[in-house]
Amino acid sequence: MLRKTLLATFCASAILTTASPVMAAPTQELKSEQGTLEVTTITQGLDHPWALAFLPDRQGMLVTERPGNLRVVAADGKLSSPINGVPKVWAKGQGGLLDVVLSPDFKQDRTVYLSYAEGGGEGDKAGTAVGRGQLSEDLTTLKNFKVIFRQEPKLSVGNHFGSRLVFDRDGYLFITLGENNDRATAQDLDKLQGKVVRIYPDGKVPDDNPFVGQSGVRPEIWSYGQRNPQGAALNPWTGVLWENEHGPRGGDEINIIERGKNYGWPMATHGINYSGQPIPESKGKATEGTVAPHHVWEKSPGLSGMAFYDADRFKVWQHNVFIGALVTQELIRLQFDGDRVVHEERLMGELNKRIRDVRQGPDGYLYVLTDESDGALYKVGLK
């Protein structure tokens, strides 16, 4: 297929909305190793927000709320009413409306992709689904929404859906999928639990996927042996997909995703059960035939959204990676020598907020969502 370039994001600013504006708090100044961190509240009152995507031409940001709403947030904090046409979601446990990304050709096709928990499984179980629709010019309606991918079988009772959406430079769509807290399925190639899949934007399977044509194997699979990957991003310097995932009790990890590789779960893990007992299927921290984590935390921060920083605004952040932490309630900054992590800093811990998503904005600031019943969107930079 023709090579595509990922949609360049643009500055977000105020749009006309029917909802009342939310009064933003003053900018807070927090300490960091590289200077004073400025954290400005853009909006509050979001209901467990999960992901954000920047709209072009100064039209604001799309934000998902896990109970099932998709909203537009303007730079001044005004919230739109929920956008019409969003699919019904299975909003239980960790399930609901999850990630949102724009088509690489959004300016031409106005297509928005959503991942979400979809019910319908035996015994009221659910799985991750991905669909797409066209956002109306007035930003009020998602038209002609169609499901292009379903995780099969549906096994989740409310846990481990994944799910991040990432377009690569050639326009392929990667989807990260949790193993629905059914550990063994991450190694089962006839199931879509615990996998990273790769599809065309319309849901079709590329002929060069690693398992195409193999009997009893799902052709969508790009990699397997994942547990619950809730963060993923394309490395802007190499074009390679990076993913982060939750371990159990310990063993959160970053993986550099390679075609057809096995990332080990549950056979290889640095974590243990929440009960304190070993993972029954585990053969240790490493086992033959699996890829070791690129970076691992023995004590779990509860990793979520992930962003590479490649803007010019804050040069000391260039080639750093920022990751949200749900358990430790921080923004993690990782510093690299090549691809190797050489330093880690924990930011924004003073706020005591579960950080769900982080994205680099078109203005060079970081934008951070907190997963709370009174969730907030923050703009983060250095003074």
Task: Say whether 160 is catalytic.
Answer: yes
Angle at 41 between CA 36 and CA 47, to 5 degrees: 135
Residue 99 neighbours by CB under 8 Å, 6+ apart? 50, 51, 64, 113, 114, 115, 163, 164, 165
Helix (H) / strand (E) containing 158: none
**What residue spans of 43-149 are helical by DSSP H?**
106-109
Cα distance between residue 218 and residue 303, in whole Å: 27
Active-site residue (options: 48, 160, 246, 270): 160
Q: Give the per-residue SS3 of 80-106.
A: CCCCECCCCCCCCCCCCEEEEEECCCH
Give the pair of three-digit tokens for residue 148. 């292009």
Cα distance between residue 320 and residue 153, in whole Å: 37
Q: Is the CB of residue 199 less than 8 Å from the CB of residue 131?
A: no
- The answer to whether the bond into 201 is cis (omega within 30° of 0) is no
Q: Name the DSSP letter for residue 212.
A: T
Q: Name the DSSP letter for residue 198.
A: E
Using alpha carbons, list the distances in angstroms from residue 320 to 52, 54, 96, 314. Answer: 20, 21, 30, 11
Q: Is the CB of residue 348 less than 8 Å from the CB of residue 380?
A: yes
Which residues are known to be catalytic?
160
